[in-house]
Amino acid sequence: MATHRSAEKRDRQNKKRRARNAAVKSQTKTEIKKVLAAVESKDGESSERALKAAVRVIKKAASKGVYHKNNASRKVSRLTRKVAALKKA
């Protein structure tokens, strides 16, 4: 347990950040699942809409430092490839 004032403040900040990061990660995972569900149902239009929303959320999470930029780019790339493959088929 923190005993110095600065350590107590740092503990409060870490708790806030952890809660915020968890919320952002949860939202990101939900958006990714929506894209995958649309691709699975072979619905091209809804998968593109879901992809657009997911990319926005993923990039925003990366800009806030929740995900590393390469991790975010990899997620976007994989989703985009799946949607593109659906359009070709």
SS3 of 5-22: the string is: HHHHHHHHHHHHHHHHHH
Q: Is the dihedral of CA 58, 60, 66, 69 positive or negative?
A: positive
pTM of the model: 0.88
Alpha-carbon distance 7 to 13, whole Å? 10
- Mean pLDDT value across the chain: 95
Is the separation of the CB atoms in 75 and 31 below 8 Å? no
Using alpha carbons only, what angle is made at residue 83 by residues 38 and 51, rounded to the nearest 5 degrees? 65
pLDDT at 60: 97
Q: Is the pLDDT of residue 87 over 80?
A: yes
State the pLDDT confidence band at 28, using cuts at 50, 70 and 90. very high
**For residue 89, pLDDT beyond 80:** no
Residue 64 per-residue DSSP state: T
